Structure 1
Amino acid sequence: MGSSARLRLYMNDNGPLILDGGLATELEAQGAKLQGDPLWSARLLHTNPQAIRDAHHRFLLSGADVITTATYQASITGFIDHLDVSCERARELLMSGVHLAKETAETFVCDARPAGQRCPLVAGSVGPYGAFLHNGSEYTGAYAQEMSIEEFKVWHRPQIDCLAAAGADLLAFETIPSIKEAEALIELLREFPNSQAWLSFSCKDGTCISDGSSFSEAVQMANRCTQLVAVGVNCCSPALVEPLLQSARSLLSPDMSWVVYPNSGEDWDSEQGWLTSEKTSASISELGHTWMKQGAALIGGCCRIGPAHIAELRRELKGSCTSPSSAV
């Protein structure tokens, strides 16, 4: 069965697909030093691929149906600039993100045989241009004013080409802060007719994505792309998800689903890192049922969401969880 047919079958099953959490969060929990690195977790594709395998495995043990590659901040240019490798080696590294995830998923199924759980899917992460800039602009989208749609397509094309060629089950266009960049990605996706994707935005409040455009406008644009299986939000506070989905509730195409994977609700400071807020948001597991009722078919977590959170989410939404003790 091809990736496209398998994805549709998964999404027609009862209950949402459970996504993984913050890959970099889990890598840091296991000792990786990523803060301040312009390649972030993608550097480990070169220096410590086993750490990435292990992190993927822990999310699979937690019950994730989909694991996302360590390529969010990866690019051909970035690898060449920061690792001093050839273009060919940079392409190999990008593709290795998919290979590592798929190998881990296949080994997990062979070894664990989790009851009632299909072979997990691998989503090839495609971060925004702002991730490459490494200045936090994926949460503002300010750079989009100075770039054309064609320039965005030129930038993203090599990354998408590598992830598709490596066999990702679908692409994850994630933390996209601007309508213009999203439009470029949708246009570019048509150059890869055998690929499907989800499109998720970074958002500034309960109605707008990061560049100030309305989330409803973003959804209407996404509806026009038949290769998108879902549109939604990621790396925002869990408290923003419900109002964002509500703001576009009547606009979502019947052929499209919501994808939501917020962060922990903590605030990010470029100098101090993650700061715990006094106004603690409800957890993703507590809010997951609401998102399901709103039509979310893919639910997980982003930054500061680890395997334990995903296990709790799965228990809440699907009533089961693969764990180290049961995965035998």
Structure 2
Amino acid sequence: MKSLHFQLLDGGMGRELQRIGAPFKQPQWSALALMQAPNYVKQVHQHFINAGADILTTNTYALVPYHISDPVFSERALELANEAARIARECADEANRKPSNGREIRVAGCIPPAFGSYRPDLFDAEQLARILSPLIIAQENYIDFWLVETVSSIEEASCVIELIKNKSTKPIWLSYSLQNRHDFSDPVRLRSNELLTDALDITEQLEALLFNCSQPEEMEDAIRLTHQHNASLTLGAYANSFSEVKREHDANAMLSTLREDVSPDKYRSFAERWVDAGASVIGGCCGIGPEHIAELNKLRR
């Protein structure tokens, strides 16, 4: 096995919380453990550290009204986002103090879709600051950089970048979510149906551009296209293992089933192709657990 060089992200927080028995259900998703039993969140971060992750992502993905309701958001968003960022920072700092660690673990401040995953049709620029500002303010002092996740449209990308730049000087990583294609000869598109090639002008404002929460088969083409557009940009991918090519339900309606064929070994083979295409950041999204991250870590030895 050849040795590859890349930064290793963690995997999916929500499904790992579910696996270890944390409070977990829709619509609150990963926010429920943060609200009721935050010690489980720390356990998940530690599992990914043990697997070899260099980057921990704060557990703030579900801290939006879409998941926790407007009343709870209004009352607790700032407090919960602060707690999520504090836990991630504490886990990273504890690991970094260990002489045996051998790597610096950094913290990515998650900025989630404000209006729900895969829902570019619900995007409302006028409401964006009300929802995301508390998450930015609460995390600012704990994180190393921002990770804007599961971005579904060009408008969403532009508006979120502008909002963060007005409130923070930390670097911005942005991650697009892609349509899952039936025919891989079709062009690569965002969830909004916009062409990826039309969504790359924002790269000059970013430290890194990634792709997440799409099937593993989508990532190689997206990375290759983006690398051709901007060869100096840091690129990455962290796929999910959802079984459906086109999801027919809202994020809050039910749990998506997971593919049985996306084993740690199979996921590693996908990741090798992503690195060959130009990626230097690899990790996992929904359904990709510590066992997958540990397998990816073997590629660096």
For residues 180-236 of structure 1, what are the alpha-carbon distances to aligned partners after superposition, in whole Å with 9 as ceiling and x for unaligned?
Answer: 11110111122134211211111114600000111122222x2231xx211121011
For residues 281-321 of structure 1, what are the alpha-carbon distances to aligned partners after superposition, in whole Å with 9 as ceiling and x for unaligned?
Answer: 983311212211222121100001110110001102x11xx
Name the amino acid aligned to 2:193. Answer: G
Which residue is equivalent to 2:118?
A: 139
Which residue is equivalent to 1:234?
A: 212
The correspondence for 1:92, drawn from 79, 82, 87, is 79
**Does 2:147 correspond to 1:172?**
yes
- Alpha-carbon RMSD across the aligned residues, in angstroms, is 2.6
Change (3 A) 1:265 1:239: farther
The correspondence for 2:289, drawn from 306, 314, 317, is 306
Deviation at 1:279, TM superposition (A): 7.6
**Does 2:16 correspond to 1:31?**
no
- In the TM superposition, what are the counterparts of 1:106-185 in structure 2 within 5 Å? 106-111=93-98, 113-114=100-101, 116-118=102-104, 120-131=105-116, 138-144=117-123, 147=124, 149-164=125-140, 166-185=141-160
CA distance in 2, matches of 1:112, 1:50: 24
TM-score computed with the length of structure 2 as normaliser: 0.85
For residues 58-95 of structure 1, what are the alpha-carbon distances to aligned partners after superposition, in whole Å with 9 as ceiling and x for unaligned?
Answer: 10000000011110011489767464x874x5312211
Contact 2:243 2:256 in 1 (8 A): yes
Change (3 A) 1:75 1:260: same
Deviation at 1:276, TM superposition (A): 4.8
Alignment length, in residue pairs?
286
Contact 1:238 1:265 in 2 (8 A): no
Which residue is equivalent to 1:262?
A: 239
Contact 2:237 2:282 in 1 (8 A): yes
Deviation at 1:253, TM superposition (A): 5.6
User: SS of 2:150's equivalent?
Assistant: strand
User: SS of 1:40's equivalent?
Assistant: coil
User: SS of 1:274's equivalent?
Assistant: coil
Q: Give structure 1 stretches of 5+ with no counterpart.
A: 1-13, 132-137, 320-328
Change (3 A) 1:112 1:81: farther
Which residue is equivalent to 1:245?
A: 223
Identity within the alignment, % = 29
Change (3 A) 1:304 1:200: same
- In the TM superposition, what are the counterparts of 1:174-253 in structure 2 within 5 Å? 174-204=149-179, 205=181, 207-220=188-201, 222-225=202-205, 228-252=206-230
CA distance in 2, matches of 1:161, 1:54: 25
User: SS of 1:283's equivalent?
Assistant: helix
CA distance in 2, matches of 1:125, 1:292: 23
Contact 2:207 2:234 in 1 (8 A): yes
Contact 1:284 1:301 in 2 (8 A): no
CA distance in 1, matches of 2:85, 2:199: 28
CA distance in 1, matches of 2:133, 2:167: 10
Change (3 A) 1:101 1:244: same
TM-score computed with the length of structure 1 as normaliser: 0.79
Deviation at 1:113, TM superposition (A): 2.4
Change (3 A) 1:261 1:53: same
User: SS of 1:67's equivalent?
Assistant: strand
Which residue is equivalent to 1:74?
A: 63
